[in-house]
Structure 1
Amino acid sequence: MATDAVRAQVAAKWQDSFNRLNRGQPGITGLMALSEAWNIASEFLHPRDLTTTPTQKEPNMSAIKIAFDVLSKSRMLPMILESFLEDMRKQQHLITAEVNTYMSEFENSSDPRVIGRLVHRLVEWYKAWHPAPELGHTILSAYTLSFQTHVFSVLPPSFPRAFKALVTSTLPKLASDEDQEDEEPPDMSVWGSFETLGLVERYESLIASVCYEHIEAYVLEECRGKWSESMLTGLREWMATKVVPWMVYSYARGAKTPDEAKHMLQGVGSRFDFHICKTLCDLRTSEIFDIIIDYPDSLNALNDLRECLQRVDQRAELVSTLRYANKKRLLHPGADTKDILTQYVSIIRCLRIIDPPGVLLFKVADPIRRYLRERSDTIRCIVASLVGDGESGDSLVDENEPIQPLQTAEVEDYADPHWEPEPIDAGPDFRTNKPSDVISTLVSIYDSRDLFVKELQVLLAQRLLATKDGNFEKERRNIEILKVRFGEAALQVCEVMLKDMTDSRRIDQHVQSQKASVIHPTIISRHFWPPLQATNIVMPGQLQEMQESYAKEFTTFKPDKKLSWLPHLGTVHIDVELTDRTVSTQVPPLEAAFIELFLEKDLWTIEDLVAKLGGVDKASALKSLGTWVDLGVLKEEEDFKYRLLETAEAETSGGRAHAPRPAIAEEPLAVVTVQQQQAEQMRVFWKFIEGMLTNLGSLSLDRIQTMLKFAPTYDRNIDQLGAFMEAARREGLVTVQDGMWKLNKK
């Protein structure tokens, strides 16, 4: 049972509540007024059904405001708000039905304009149920939160995709889309609806992704394969004129002045500019191999890439992409050495534009340099380009570049006031003061310049011996240029060779003045020239007589000198007088020697011809005799017998067709190449290796290399020795097991 005190307390509170609700009015007049105010407020706030309810007349806002004042004084606003939100929950099925209808239509048509109509319709529901602003911020905030929460809860999983399509439709059209028929311009008013419904905040990352994808599509469409003009400036202008106005709708919604909008767009604009640079950098990185091939026409693309790399840290991606492209498209046996060198030179020039310190070049060039070192003709191609003797006429050296001495890496001077530290991504082997000119970089592929000097001597010797008109000005100019690059001392032998050629013409003129001769030999100093191809051929008949006669006159002029003939080199203009015809042609001396033997008799066997000349292998003899067979001077019979045809035979339908003969026969290579010289030297060193393995048993490659260094003139590195030992293994001379080499005992 309740005590009197409890009853008194409850009665007091009841009376207090009654007085508050009745507001001190007589009787229940206040309660009646409160009830009326509640009804007016409830009717005003009740959510309407827009699909069935006709348009209502404007409410009496003064009466409504009085009603809410009564409820406020009676502290009933929280209760009326709770009732309103409960009514909203009961009416939310209407919004759900609308959402499902529009989303079904979008699934069938994929038309983003359907989603635009859905968004506008949701805003209509929002405004229809929206309380009057005069009711205060509390009611409005509670309503907005409740409405947005319900809308987000009923949106299907497919809505983000649909919303993305709608946002994309508001962006400026790309060039590829402008040709498509578009009945309506983009509806930019949807951005206000997005703001009302809170969609911008909810899908902020999705909106940003739409802009990112739009930028990527535009960059790929406008810039792919276009390297002759700068694209970055144009992309930024497009961004400023096309994309920034669109960004105002999504990222500067509350701006009241242009300055305020600019301030609000500063951060997001920087992000999108970064994405432009990143996308262009990715594109140019994927095209970098072809851009280098197209240099210098692709200079603008390289400048764009350099600027992008300063903003986007993708240097490692550029290095890995170019290294992979070089390995796949360049560094393989099918590529010509000259093409590899040409591309390497272009890589040097292009990467110096992108990265002047040379870190990228250092990382990209290493596999190319290692591959070129393994090719036997690399030095020959570089040297041929230096003297302008490239087969294609192209030169690895830019004619506009100044001629300067070869550069070598020097020790860094840290006291230099202009010294700068190495870039942060430089490896431990990188040096900032790498050679900067192309020739120095190419020569630095090898540890020693001696290989280049020897190749220069061989190439110059071949060019001098091939000159028929006595004009050596081009070679003299080449030597002067090479002196600047390699120094005076390295080119002394070349000076002697050039002097020998001019002296040879003077000596020949003197000998001819004493006794005319049909032969005009080139007289050289054998100790200052690269080794020439040697032979044991003995020239027959009148050819030998002419050589002896010329040598006698030479000895008279130069008593302290003696001529040593190389009869297999040069060319002979010969007239073969037969019974019914005369055959005139130019042939190598060996072919002239064979045909002269037929003065002795008309029929020879191949064995007798070879024995007569001496020092001629059978293959060379058959090739030489084949020339005269093709000219119709000789006829090949059975058992390798050759008969002189004094009278030409009539050609038959089944007879051998005579091949057309060039005016000048191909001359044999006079000078022994550097590779041949090295191979011959290694045959000498093989005697040392054979002695080591005989006395010491099995040895490692390092041990063999160490012991060979005591041999005179040995200058090979361990890689060259390894290649030689591998060749000896293939010939069955040695065997290897666990890195130990030993003689193969047969």
Structure 2
Amino acid sequence: MATAALRSQVAAKWHESFSRLNRTEPGITGLISFSQAWNIATEYLHPRDITDPMAVKKPADLASVKVAFDMINRSRRLPVMLETFLDDICNQYHLITRDIQKYLAQYEESGDTTVMLRLVFRLVEWFRAWSPIDELGPTIRGAYTLTFQTQLFSILPPGFVAGFKALCASTLVPVAQHTPEMWDAFEVLGLTDRYEGIIASVGYERIEEYVRETCTGKWDKPCLEGLRAWMTSQIVPWMLPMYAKGAVNTEDARGMLQNVGSRFDFHMNKTLCDLRTSEIFDIIIDFPDSMGALQDLKECLQRVDQRASLVQALRKANRKRLLHPGADTKLILTQYVATIRCLRIVDPPGVLLFKVADPIRRYLRERPDTIRSIVANLVGDDDSGDALVDENEPIQPLQQLEADDYNDPNWDPEPIDAGPDFRTNKPSDVISTLVSIYDSKDLFVKELQVLLAQRLLAITDDNFEKVEKERRNIEILKIRFGEAALQVCEVMLRDMTDSKRIDGHVQSQKASIVHPTIISRHFWPSLESSDIVMPGQFQALQTDYAKEFSTFKPDKKLRWLPHLGTVHLELQLEDRTIEADVPPLEAAFIELFSDKNVWTMDELVAGVGAVDRTAALKALITWIDLGVLKEDQENTFRLLELQEEAAPAARTAPAAIEAPAVSAAQQQQADQMRLYWKFIEGMLTNLGALPLDRIQTMLRFAPGYDQTPEQLAAFMEAARREGLVVGRDGMWKLNR
């Protein structure tokens, strides 16, 4: 049972509601009028099927509609009526779903983006057909728009997004004539805000495509200026309807596009930076013809923070393509120097170079011929024509690292991404950078002395002017290494001049065909010693020359190094004369054959002193190849006074043919080459097909390898006959 108070409260609420709806009209006249107004308003707002001609809303008397809405508003029932209207929208949305499915089915079948455009315009028709009149105020229209868009986004299938993106892309190339109407429709339906990321991705993808089309592999000229001009002519007009809607002049449009334009410019810089990062190894190889790409990369890195990606990409490319046993040391040094020059353009402080160069420097430090390659380039001993040092660079002393001077008013702090070991005042010239691979320049000075000694000892009387060339090189190197470091080289050069003068005096006293190079052994690098004793006329020539030298220099004594130098021989045989320039050991062996025609290996070795049998076999093979000697039996050699013709090929049945017997000398050479087959097999497995000169270069790293390219070619040919390798167009690869 309700209490009297509750009954009184309910009665008061009822009378208050009745009075509000009846509006103090007599009886229930006001309530009847409210009911009529409610029916007029709900009938006007009810969402109808625009595809059914019979259900299309008939023109209504807007005056009576406005009166009805005004009565409902004064009765404070407008929120209830709006809730009813929005419920009707949700209940009738299956009509829009039906149209969406129909249009999407047509698009998936044809792939025509105009179908998607018709779908968008159709959705706008539904939106406007169900929209309340403006006179109802922004609250009702806002509630309707929110409900319509919410329902729309909830029923759109996944295929709509792909079609919508394709529609946006179709308006970009070329800019379509219907673009303004399409963007207005997107705005009405809320698609612009909902799919802003997808719309922007269309522009991003077009930028990426254009950058790859126009900039890939084109490094001679900068591309950024042309890309920005293309953005102004192609991308900006496409952006205006979406991002600068309502702009009345150019200044308004520029202000509206400032933020979004900055995003698109950033993406263009990022795309170009990614492209140049992927090409950086080849860009460095192509330097200086790739200067334009480096300038672009420098500007892009100032806009896009991708320095770490550049370092990682270049280090990875170096490990894969450069820092491996198949790469020649000279090639690694050339690429390193190009890397130094390129990264100094991209990043003048040198942080990127410091991070990229560290693995290269550690790898070069482990290579045994790095110092020799650098020194050979310094003294002009490199015949490849690809110098590490730019001739236009000024010659300057080696630069050493110095401590930071914090009292210097021009001092700058290190870059933020510099590591703890980085120093901004790293050596600026290439030579100082190369020498800094090692902790001390003394290693380079010693290697320079060894190389200079080899070059000086190779100079003959016919080209003695090369001594002056070496003197000029030393004068240039004094600027880099200092006077004190090259004093020994000065003594070596003076010895060459004195040797020429001494030889001239000896020749004036007693003419001789011997022209030795006389050096001061305390100032020259240690030369390889040998126990060779030159036999016959060579011994007599040395003795006569030493006697005349002692007469001229009584306080000095000659110590011959007969294994060094070159001997020009003219062999007079019965049917022919052979001229050859050979090392002293070859000359010593053939001199012994002037006493008798047949010698054994042991007799030959005893006749010239204690020499290694391998070196002896190699020396004898020289005369065998020239057709002067022949190995009749194992370790027995005979002088061929009469040249022997090659035996004619025997005709045999197509059965197994035994290989001819190989002489002991040839067998020794073959056995030695087989020791290096594992090296050859490994490099062909890891690196694929290689030319002969590349194999020869890499084999030099094998311990004890001393074969000539001709001997290597013969070995590879033998391996081909055995089915181990395949040779085609000068390239050798394993026979799989």
Equivalent residue, structure 1, for 2:355: 363
Compared CA separation, residues 185 and 467, structure 1 to 2 (3 A): farther
Corresponding residue for residue 137 of structure 1 = 138
The correspondence for 2:496, drawn from 492, 501, 504, is 501
Letter in 2 for 1:210: V
- 1:350 — aligned with what? 342
2:370 counterpart of 1:378: yes
1:483 to 475, 478, 484: 478
Match of 1:311 among 290, 297, 303: 303
Match of 1:190 in 2: 182
Alignment match, 2:456: 464
- Identity percentage of aligned residues: 67
Task: Report how far residue 389 of structure 1 moved.
Answer: 1.0
- SS in structure 1 opposite 2:631? strand
Of 338-347 and 633-642, deviating more is 633-642
Distance 2:526 2:17 in 1: 126
Quote how far apart the aligned CAs of 1:57 are. Answer: 6.7
Residue in 2 that maps onto 1:297: 289
Superposed displacement of residue 173, structure 1: 5.6
Which structure 2 residues correspond to residues 314-353 of structure 1 after superposition, within 5 A? 314-353=306-345
Q: Which residue number in structure 2 is paired with residue 677 of structure 1?
A: none
Q: Does the residue aligned with 2:570 lie in a helix, a strand or coil? A: strand
Cα 1:650–1:313 shift into 2, 3 Å: closer
Maintained 8 Å contact 1:169/1:186 = no
What is the CA distance between 1:38 and its match in structure 2?
A: 4.4
Instruction: Give TM-score scaled by structure 1 length.
Output: 0.80
User: Match for residue 621 of structure 1?
Assistant: 616
Q: 1-side partners of 2:15 and 2:649: how far apart?
A: 141
Per the TM alignment, residue 78 of structure 1 is displaced from its structure 2 partner at its CA by 3.8
Counterparts in 2 of 1:15 and 1:495: CA distance versus 1, 3 Å: closer
Q: Contact between 1:277 and 1:311, CA under 8 Å: does it hold in 2?
A: yes
Cα contact 1:170–1:188 (8 A) shared by 2? no
Distance in 1 of aligned mates of 2:73 and 2:58: 26
Count of matched residue pairs: 648
* Whole-Å separation in 1 of the counterparts to 2:407 and 2:12: 96
Q: Indicate the SS of the match to 2:93.
A: helix
| Offset of residue 87 of structure 1 | 3.7
Q: SS at 1:583's partner residue?
A: strand
Residues 608 and 81 (structure 1), Cα distance of their counterparts in 2 relative to 1, 3 Å cut: closer
Question: Are the equivalent residues in 1 in contact too, given 2:287–2:338 (CA < 8 A)?
Answer: yes
Comparing 70-79 and 303-312, the one that deviates more: 70-79
TM-score by length of 2: 0.82
Q: Does 1:253 align with 2:254?
A: no
Using a 3 Å threshold, how does the CA distance of structure 1 residues 78 and 648 change in structure 2: closer, same or farther? closer
How many Å separate the matches in 1 of 2:497 and 2:444?
25
1:513-524 correspondence runs (5 A): 513-524=508-519
Q: 1:668-687 counterparts in 2 under 5 A? A: none
Matches of 2:433 and 2:189, distance apart in 1: 65
CA distance in structure 1 between the aligned counterparts of 2:4 and 2:606, rounded to whole angstroms: 153
Look up the match of 1:148: 149
1:612 aligns with 2:604: no
In 2, Cα distance between equivalents of 1:410 and 1:639: 67
Match for 1:450 among 442, 445, 448?
A: 442
Q: Secondary structure at the match of 2:53?
A: coil
Instruction: Evaluate the alpha carbon distance shift between residue 45 and residue 377 of structure 1 in structure 2; reply closer, same or farther with a 3 A threshold.
Output: same
Counterparts of 1:83 and 1:23, CA distance in 2 = 23
The worse-fitting range, judged by mean Cα deviation, of 76-85 and 622-631 is 76-85
Structure 1 CA distance, aligned partners of 2:90 and 2:561?
112
Gaps of 5+ in 1: 175-183, 657-723, 725-746
Tell me how far apart the structure 1 counterparts of residues 321 and 9 of structure 2 sit (CA, whole Å): 98
**1:237-291, Cα deviation, whole Å (9 max, x unpaired):** 2222222222222223344443333222212222222222222222222222222
- Does structure 1 residue 116 correspond to structure 2 residue 117? yes
How far apart are 1:573 and its partner, in Å? 2.1
Is the 1:319–1:360 contact (alpha carbons within 8 Å) kept by the matching residues of 2?
yes
Q: Secondary structure at the match of 1:475?
A: helix
**Secondary structure, in 3 states, of the residue corresponding to 1:526?**
coil
Give 1:447 deviation, angstroms: 1.0
Letter in 2 for 1:473: E
Residue identity in the other structure for 2:392: N
Across the aligned residues of Structure 1 and Structure 2, the Cα RMSD in angstroms comes to 3.0
In the other structure, the counterpart of 2:533 is 538
1:125 shift after superposition:
0.9
Per-residue CA distance 1:285-326 (angstroms, 9 max, x = gap): 222222211211112212211222222222222222222221
Which digits, 9 at most, give the CA deviation of each residue in 1:30-72, with x for residues without a partner?
6666555445434433323211126777544444434444444
CA contact (8 A) 1:504 1:524 kept: yes
Q: Contact 2:48–2:57 (CA<8 Å) still a contact in 1?
A: no
Bigger shift: 442-451 or 634-643? 634-643
Letter aligned with residue 445 of structure 2: V
Query: Counterpart of 2:44?
Result: 44
Mark the CA change 1:361 to 1:12 in structure 2 (over 3 Å): closer, same or farther.
Answer: closer
- TM-aligned CA distance change 1:107 to 1:615, over 3 Å: same
Query: Which residue does 1:222 correspond to in 2?
Result: 214
CA apart distance, 1:143: 2.0
Deviation at 1:73, TM superposition (A): 4.4
> Where in structure 2 are there 5+ consecutive unaligned residues?
651-659, 661-702, 704-736
Distance in structure 2 (CA, Å) of the matches to 1:410 and 1:170: 60
